[in-house]
Structure 1
Amino acid sequence: MPIKQNAIEIVKTLQDKGFDALFAGGCVRDMIMRRESADYDIATNALPHDVMNLFKKTFSVGTQYGVVVVVKDGHNFEVATFRTEKSYSDGRHPDYVSFSTAEEDVRRRDFTINGLLYDPVKKEMLDYVGGRDDIAAGIIRTIGDPVERLTEDKLRMIRAVRFACRFNFHIHEETRQAIINLAPQIHVVSAERIREELQKIITGPNPHLGIQLLDELCLLREILPEVSEMKGVRQPENFHPEGDVFTHTLLCLSKMENPSWTLAMGVLLHDIGKPRTFQELDRIRFNLHEKVGADITAKICNRLKTSNADKERIIWLVLKHLCFKDAKKMRLNKLKRLFAHEAYKELEELCRIDALASSGDLSDYYFCREMFEKLSKEEVKPKPLITGHDLIAIGLTPGPAFKHILTKIEDEQLDGNITTKEEALKKAQELACADAG
């Protein structure tokens, strides 16, 4: 049974038992906009224990908020009791919750476009806050007083940007001004929640508009001050006719196509080291900006509490984003090592985007892509000819030299100079003797 039909069945079951039950929030907005919805949330006057008694498989995810999950045909549906909320001392969660009516439930929600209710049985729409008009006009507007709504949950400031990007809507002026005034308070929100919203912005539609809007609303300097520093940093016009570093970055973001989180961050941060390495000598230079940028990227990822695996991948993308320009002069073993990295295809895309957003010269990109496709997987990452155990077997003492020897052997193997174990062992002995001497 389709997910929507399952949701309708839950509504019908509740209504058959005498309760009010309605689709609520994003799924109603998506229906009006003729978009597919992944989730169908249901609002009702049934209390949590009523819901749990009515359905075979349920579990509570927030009894204090009246939220129960009903499992139907393998899909989870949140069923929440109509409620009002009061006092948000932590700037994120209500201190007091009380059960209420459908209209009162709507008026405590965030934005008018998310404040619609729909009865899928009677096929009736309930709009207490002008949500349909704002959808038609393409407006993101808070329900009620914007300062009050945004103060209740500071994360709503970034969510407003996300919705504006996702639907290509504009933020209502009063909501916009309230965000600007409250922006310094965004730090009460956990780094994890900020990262989640940022991820949705830069991997979703119009990521360049998202970063630009965060900047206009004074949120960028709060959550990513290093990105704000790129504004006004001039670049040599012959390489970057598009403008300053911030303009270039926005243009790069606009050229992404369904990026992963790590690629999107790599694109956003690839030139993050330029403001701190800017020099105007014979011409404008940014010496070692990729290395400085990698260090800054590590700090940003730590601040956003990015996973270690994602952090290492993003740092690598920033560190290596210039390597394509030297690819034609690289030794084969170095090129193969680059191709063997698990994030190589993301680096390839980053370099394509970087070139398109500046000089437009894709020759280095095409060279690397052709070389990558030409080399087999075995050629790029062959099985090691020898290991540390083999070095011990020929009488060498374990120590730091082992890594040096094995890396040199691998380089020779990747260059095609060594193809057998015997040749590798002979070379290892030569290297050991040279180190000893």
Structure 2
Amino acid sequence: MTVKQNAIEIVRTLHKHGYKAFLAGGCVRDMIMGKESADYDIATNALPQNVTKLFEKTIPVGAQFGVVIVVKDNHNYEVATFRTEGSYGDGRHPDYVTFSTPEDDVKRRDFTINGLLYDIIKNEILDYVGGRSDISQGIIRTIGDPIKRFTEDKLRMIRAVRFACRFHFPIHRDTQQAIIRLAPQIHVVSAERIREELEKILTGSNPHIGIRLLDELHLLQEILPEVSQMKGVRQPENFHPEGDVFVHTLLCLSKLVPLIEQGMEKPSFTLAMGVLLHDIGKTVTFEESDRIRFNLHEKVGADMAAKICDRLKLSNVEKERIVWLVLKHLCFKDAQKMRMNKLKRLFANEGYQELAELCRIDALASSGNLSDYHFCQEMFNKLSHEEIKPKPLITGHDLIAMGLKPGPSFKTILTKIEDEQLDGSITNKETALEEVKTLISQMTTVLK
């Protein structure tokens, strides 16, 4: 069965046992908009203990709040009991819930476009909050008082931006004003939840609009002040006719596309973050003498990116890739003058394709000159994997067999041999070992 068919089957099972049950929230919104949903939620008057008895595999993730996960065909379906909620002491979870009616249940949800129910038995949409009208008009609006909705869960402020980007809908004025007023309180939300919403914005449609909206609603200065500080940082017009660093970054984000050759359906989060942060170092390295300069901004930016990744609780793998992208984002401009060993080392990095895409986007959003990008891509495609990452001709064991003691000199010698192997000047082990003898002799002479 498809994801949708399984959801309908869950609803029918609940009906069969005498309960009310409806498809709820985003899946109904998507149905009205003619879009396919990845997830289907169900709202019902069945209590959690009733739900767990009816279905073979369930997970009581939030039974105290009336929420049970029903698992069918390895897909999770959230089945929630109609409820109203008490105050939100932690800014995320209600202090208590009271099981209620479908209408009351809808009125405690976040946005009108997400406050719809679908009765599959009657083939009828239940709309108690004006959600269909707001979908038709293209508006993001909270259900009821926006201050109350955002006070319940501050993350909803960033979610408003995500939905505005996803559907290209403006945010209603009252909802906007509430976000601006409450923006400084976003810090009560965990870094992990903020990171999750940020990822959805940056890897979804219109990430440039998302960052611009976060800025206009005063959220950007709270969650990514370093990006907010890009505004007004001038750049040399001959290299960046598009405008300041913030304008350039938004233009770069607008050009993000999935890396189809890597099987991606959307841009990776690491690439998107690399694009967002690649010029972050310019905010603190700006200087103007004979002309505007940003000396070593890629190195300064890499350090800043590492701190941002830590603050957002990114994984070490994500952090390492993003920092590398920021550090290396200028290297394509020197590629045509690089020695082959350096170029091959660049190609051998697992993040190369993301770096290539970052460099392509960076060029398109400034000079428009893609000659360095095309050179690198042609060389990358021309070389085989064995040429880019060949099996080492010698190892540390060979150096030990020659009587050398392990130490710092090992890395120096092995790197030198690998460089010559990548350049093509050494092609076999015998020659490599002879070169090692020469290197040892040179190092001994220097030490004397």
TM-score w.r.t. structure 2 length?
Answer: 0.96
Task: Specify the alignment match of 1:244 in structure 2.
Answer: 244
Name the SS for the 1:46 alignment partner: coil
Aligned twin of 1:432: 440
Task: Report the Cα offset of residue 430 of structure 1.
Answer: 1.7
Secondary structure, in 3 states, of the residue corresponding to 2:236? Answer: coil
Give secondary structure in 2 for the equivalent of 1:292: helix
Asked if residue 404 in structure 1 is aligned to residue 415 in structure 2, the reply is no
Aligned match of 2:261: none
Matches within 5 A, 1:341-356: 341-356=349-364
**Counterpart residue number, 2:174:** 174
Structure 1 spans left out of the alignment, 5+ residues: none
Shift of residue 213, structure 1, vs aligned partner: 0.2
CA contact (8 A) 1:355 1:361 kept: yes
- Is it true that 1:131 corresponds to 2:131 in the alignment? yes
Q: Give the match's secondary structure for 1:171.
A: coil
The aligned amino acid for 2:437 is Q
Tell me, what secondary structure is at the counterpart of 2:91?
coil
Counterpart contact for 2:82–2:101, Cα < 8 Å: yes
- The aligned amino acid for 2:345 is R
Aligned ranges 1:79-228 → 2 under 5 Å = 79-228=79-228
Gaps of 5+ in 2: 259-266
Residue 292 (structure 2) aligns with? 284
Larger deviation: 15-24 or 210-219? 15-24
Q: CA deviation at 1:76?
A: 2.0
Per-residue deviation, 1:432: 2.0
- What SS is found at the alignment partner of 1:59? strand
Residue 103 of structure 1: how far off its partner (Å)? 0.8
> What's the CA shift for 1:71?
2.0
Displacement after TM superposition at 1:44 (Å): 0.4
Question: Per-residue deviation at 1:75?
Answer: 2.5
Residue 434 of structure 1: CA displacement?
1.8
**Conserved? CA contact 1:92–1:152, under 8 Å:** yes
Residue of structure 1 in register with 2:28 after alignment: 28
Matched with 2:317 is 309
CA distance in 2, matches of 1:344, 1:86: 50
Does residue 335 (structure 1) correspond to residue 315 (structure 2)? The answer is: no
One-letter amino acid of the structure 2 residue matched with residue 368 of structure 1 = C
Shift of 1:72: 2.3
The structural deviation recorded for 1:274 is 0.4
Residues 324, 368 of structure 1: 8 Å contact kept = yes
Amino acid at match of 1:423: T
SS of residue in 1 equivalent to 2:403: coil
Q: 1 CA distance for matches of 2:26 and 2:286? A: 45
| Distance in 2 separating the partners of 1:116 and 1:145 | 18
Q: In the alignment, which residue of structure 2 is the partner of 1:4?
A: 4
Question: How far is the alpha carbon of 1:433 from its aligned partner?
Answer: 2.3
Give 1:207's aligned amino acid: P
| Residue aligning to 2:393 | 385
Q: Deviations over 1:147-184 (max 9, x none)?
A: 00000000000000000000000100000000001000
Shift of 1:429: 2.0
Of the structure 1 ranges 6-15 and 72-81, higher mean CA displacement relative to structure 2 is found in 72-81
Residue 403 (structure 2) aligns with = 395
Q: Secondary structure at the match of 1:140?
A: coil
Runs of 4 or more above 3 Å deviation: none
After superposition, give the CA deviation of every residue in 1:259-283 in whole Å (9 maximum; x if it has no partner): 1101000000000000111011111
Of 292, 301, 304, 1:293 maps to: 301
Quote the residue 2:331 is aligned against: 323
SS at match of 1:84: strand
Amino acid at match of 1:332: M
> What is the alpha-carbon distance in structure 1 between the residues aligned to residue 318 and residue 180 of structure 2?
31
CA distance in 2, matches of 1:298, 1:72: 40
Structure 2 distance, partners of 1:361, 1:53, is: 64
Distance, in Å, in 2 between the alignment partners of 1:215 and 1:303 is 19
Report the counterpart of residue 45 of structure 2 in structure 1: 45
- AA partner of residue 300 (structure 1): I
State the match for 1:229 in structure 2.
Answer: 229
Deviations 1:295-341 (A, max 9, x none): 00000000001100110000000000000100111011000100110
How far off its partner does 1:57 sit? 2.1
Tell me whether 1:270 sits opposite 2:278 in the alignment.
yes
Q: Deviations over 1:175-203 (max 9, x none)?
A: 00000010000000010110000000000
Instruction: Provide the C-alpha distance between the structure 2 equivalents of 1:365 and 1:406, rounded to a whole number of angstroms.
Output: 30
| DSSP-derived class of the 2:295 partner | coil
1:72 lines up with 2:80 in the alignment: no
For the aligned residues, what is the CA RMSD?
Answer: 0.8
- Identity among equivalent positions (%) equals 77
1:16 CA drift (Å) = 1.7
Q: Contact 1:8–1:121 (CA<8 Å) still a contact in 2? A: no
Q: Distance in 2 between matches of 1:7 and 1:345?
A: 39
Please give the alpha-carbon distance, in whole angstroms, between the structure 2 residues aligned to 1:239 and 1:186: 37
